[in-house]
Amino acid sequence: MASLLIVDDEPNVLSAMRRLCQNASILPAIPEPTITTFTSPLQALVWLERANVDVVISDYRMPEMDGASFLARVRERQPDTARIIMSACSDIDGIVRAVNHAGIFRFVSKPWSDPDLKAAILEVLAHRRLLLENRLLADEVRSQRDVIVRQKLELERLERESPGLTKVRWTEDGGVLLED
Amino acid sequence: MNPTDGKDTTIDSSASDGGRITDLAWISALYEFGHKAANGADSQLVLQEILEHIVRGFDAESGSIALILDGTTDQLELAAGTDLPPGLIRSMLPRGTGVFGHVVETGQPVLVNGNAAETGLPLRGSKERQRTTHSAMCWPLRVAGRTIGALAVNRAETRPRYTRGDLDHGQAVTGLLALVMANHRMHVERENRILELSTLNATMQRINAMLEDAQNQVIQSEKLASIGQMAAGVAHEINNPLAFALSNLGSLSSHLSRLFELLDAYVAGDDALQPKAAELSHARKLRDETDIAFLKQDSAEIVSESREGLLRVKRIVQDLRDFSRGAGEELRQRVDLHAALDSTLNIVRNELKYKADIVRHYGTLPEVECVPSRLNQVFLNLLVNAGQSIDGNGTITITTGVDEHEAWVSIADTGCGIPAENMNRIFDPFFTTKPVGQGTGLGLSVSHSIVRKHGGRMDVQSEVGRGSRFTVRLPLAIDTSSAMFAEEPDRRAA
């Protein structure tokens, strides 16, 4: 299951990409793709207010707003999206800005190679999954650390109340020595 | 003071033998001398001849001519004389004194009869000569209102003294003489001018050729720059439709496979259907009329041929875009050119192996600072061209070496060679002799531009029927002022 948002001012590019992403017989296949397309980046931003996507693919040169600015605003709204920029021209400055500002994951030049584009989408999906998983694990570690801290405090309290209670003394043959 | 006033000079208007100066033959002879002078004969000789002619004409014992030196107003030089000791010719006369000085200064002729000192003329310190003067005349030589010198004649004591009338006659004659001399001077000047002009002309021709050369280079680089700019602008417009058309062909091809797969399944199913259902009669009729195998094969070909066409467009746009890029924006590194050549050879070996034997004569090369991918592209272009120039079987020889400041790689083939009339155009964008579809005419121009952006150069030697040799020369040390900064205007423009 992968949700994709594609933005390009050229409708034919959008339908070609939609065909490509939905066609499982052109390998690699994208599992269960949900595809939304916009020719207007502004409308796409409005739509993003109430929808979540995994990957956003944007053209670089568009009349309303360039792809780097668009993806930078997508990042503000949904930092976890994987962002890909596509361009028909190799505008070095624009690409540098896109990388630094919009934190894009991939740059794809037009015309693209079908398998390469799909591989790139799968790759950023995997990358994003890893990031999310990483964060999940980090959260888990943090919450477990909380538990540990709580247990430690309890131990200290018990020790204060009855010193030696939390300590166990072992004999050489593995027995436990009890006071008194 | 007016020293030329008649009262200040002793004038003897009595006995005179002026008959000869009206002699037409004499005037004609004088004219002849003048003609000689105007045609550039030795001026000294002509002047001397004219003087002697005048001395004879005026029945004089001696005579002399003094001329004002070029560039001065009053410095006289003795230019000719009849009874002067040798070595005196060309000597300077003291300024502002003597009869000559006086005549030149005032521009008026002077007649001296008897003691010159008594004429009141500002004479020289040594008055020996003047004291013994029996009779003498001195005329200014004037051309176009300017005094250029003076002429003097002396008569021996055995002859009657000159008269005022002789002085006037002489004035007319010396006018002619002055003209002759001016003509001669002009002739000499003209000769000098012509000489000057021809050297100037030669210099100008040389400069002109240099300018033309420079202009051609400017035109060439402007052409490349404008193509690069155009390409960058057009690339976007072409790449977008190219992108969806190419991708759609992929989707179409995938759809077609599915459709034919489905069709095949139906056809197979129908054959197995017993008994034949009547509802399918229309479908069966259509199937019998249709060559399904042909449709299947042809639609696959249509897709692949269209795809090939679009890929070719893609490559052209890519090549065009390389103009505006080159080596400027990419990372330079120190590269072993032999390794670069070998890796490029690996790529083209398949294309070349049935056409040419590849011979490598690698010299010892230091590492060269360059953009390896770009340089590989140059080698690739040259190797592919070399292969394409060979009809049948040939040899491609790769030689490398190093000069004082440059590393060089030469790729020579035994192919068809380049006709002289194409030599100037081979680096022009879009110039190609290959059949349509085999070359965009951009390979060499892109290579040339890449090498140039590396601060290097590329030259070519070729002989029709024998083969061509392209040599790429790269500087060992990158001259940043020429290689890097030269890119600045390009980049700003783009």
Question: Distance, in angstroms, between B473 CA and closest chain A CA?
Answer: 29
Q: Is A38 exposed, middle or buried (0-12, 13-18, 19+ CB in 10 A)?
A: buried
pLDDT at B493 over 50: no
pLDDT at B490 over 50: no
Of A131-140, B94-103, B366-375, B421-430, give the lowest mean pLDDT range: B94-103
Which residues from chain A sit within 8 angstroms of residue B235, using beta carbons? 88-90
B485 compared with B235, residue with greater pLDDT: B235
Compute how many other C-beta atoms are within 10 angstroms of the C-beta atom of residue A169. 10
What's the CA gap between B194 and B199, in Å, rounded?
9
pLDDT of residue B409: 95
pLDDT in tens, B304-328: 999 988 988 887 777 766 655 544 4
Which residues from chain A sit within 8 angstroms of residue B255, using beta carbons? 23
The one-letter amino acid code at B137 reads: M
Considering only the beta carbons, identify the residue of A16, A20, A89 that sits closest to B235. A89
pLDDT in tens, B41-54: 677 787 888 888 88
CA B2 to chain centroid, in Å, comes to 62
pLDDT of residue B14: 40
Question: Is B380:B409 a contact under the CB 8 Å cutoff?
Answer: no
> Does the predicted interface ipTM exceed a cut of 0.85?
no
Q: Which of B17-31, B324-338, B445-459 has the highest mean pLDDT?
A: B445-459
pLDDT of residue A15: 95
What's the CA gap between B444 and B428, in Å, rounded?
8
pLDDT at B122 over 60: no
B248 compared with B189, residue with greater pLDDT: B248
Which residues from chain B sit within 8 angstroms of residue A89, using beta carbons? 232, 235-236, 239
Are B329 and A112 a contacting pair at CB < 8 A?
Answer: no
Arithmetic mean of pLDDT over chain B: 79
Topology annotation, domain A2-134: Rossmann fold (3.40.50)
Rounded to an integer, the average pLDDT of B341-363 is: 85
Question: Is B90:B79 a contact under the CB 8 Å cutoff?
Answer: yes
Band (pLDDT 50/70/90 cuts) for residue B407 is very high
Q: Where are the domains of chain A?
A: 2-134
Of B50-59, B93-102, B222-231, B267-276, give the lowest mean pLDDT range: B222-231
Is omega for the bond preceding A79 within 30 degrees of 0, making it cis?
no
Band (pLDDT 50/70/90 cuts) for residue B296 is very high
Nearest to B453 by CA among B364, B377, B380: B377
A127 compared with B131, residue with greater pLDDT: A127
CA distances in angstroms from A31 to A3, A25, A37, A117, B434, listed in the order given:
10, 12, 18, 15, 47
pLDDT of residue B52: 86
pLDDT at B276 over 90: no
pLDDT of residue A55: 96
Nearest CA in chain A to B242: A111
Which residues from chain A sit within 8 angstroms of residue B325, using beta carbons? 90
Of B13-17, B61-65, B149-153, B232-236, give the lowest mean pLDDT range: B13-17
pLDDT of residue A10: 92
Residues above pLDDT 70, as percent of chain B: 80
Are A111 and B243 a contacting pair at CB < 8 A?
Answer: yes
Nearest to A14 by CA among A40, A32, A42, A52: A40
Of A101-115, B1-15, B407-421, give the lowest mean pLDDT range: B1-15
pLDDT of residue B220: 67
pLDDT at B487 over 60: no
What strands lie across the sheet with B135-143, from one edge to the other?
A: B76-81, B62-68, B146-155, B135-143, B110-113
Q: DSSP letters along B54-88, please? A: HHHHTT-SEEEEEEEPTT-SS-EEEEEESSPPTT-
B251 and A CB contact within 8 Å: yes
What's the CA gap between B113 and B102, in Å, rounded?
16
Task: State the pTM of this model.
Answer: 0.53
A20 and B CB contact within 8 Å: yes
Which residues from chain A sit within 8 angstroms of residue B247, using beta carbons? 16-17, 19-20, 111-112, 114
Considering only the beta carbons, identify the residue of A12, A20, A92 that sits closest to B250. A20
pLDDT of residue A59: 93
Rounded to an integer, the average pLDDT of B378-392 is: 89
Band (pLDDT 50/70/90 cuts) for residue B485 is very low
What's the CA gap between A53 and B482, in Å, rounded?
50
pLDDT of residue B22: 54
Rounded to an integer, the average pLDDT of B215-227 is: 70
CA angle centred on A84, ends A82 and A86, rounded to 5°: 170
Considering only the beta carbons, identify the residue of B250, B310, B321 that sits closest to A114. B250
What residues of chain A score a pLDDT lower than 50? none
Which residues from chain B sit within 8 angstroms of residue A112, using beta carbons? 243, 247
Question: Which of B244, B303, B491 best probes binding to A when mutated, by most A CB atoms within 10 angstroms?
Answer: B244
pLDDT at B469 over 90: yes
What would be the CATH architecture of the domain defined by B6-191?
A: 2-Layer Sandwich (3.30)
Question: Distance, in angstroms, between A109 CA and closest chain B CA?
Answer: 9
pLDDT at B229 over 60: yes
pLDDT at B379 over 80: yes
pLDDT of residue B41: 67
Band (pLDDT 50/70/90 cuts) for residue B467 is very high
pLDDT of residue B248: 95
Q: Which of A31-45, B8-22, B160-174, B351-365 has the highest mean pLDDT?
A: A31-45
Question: Is B113:B135 a contact under the CB 8 Å cutoff?
Answer: yes
Q: Which residues contact A107 (CB under 8 A, 6 or more apart)?
A: A84, A85, A86, A87, A95, A98, A99
Band (pLDDT 50/70/90 cuts) for residue B128 is very low
What does the buried/exposed string (b/e) look like for B441-469 if buried means 16 or more CB atoms within 10 Å of the residue's CB?
Answer: bbbbbbbbbbbbbbbbebebebeeeebbb
A92 and B CB contact within 8 Å: yes
- Which residue, chain included where needed, has tokens 């007649």? B111
Give, for A84, the enclosing helix (H) or strand (E). strand A82-87
Rounded to an integer, the average pLDDT of B431-443 is: 75
What would be the CATH architecture of the domain defined by B333-493?
A: 2-Layer Sandwich (3.30)
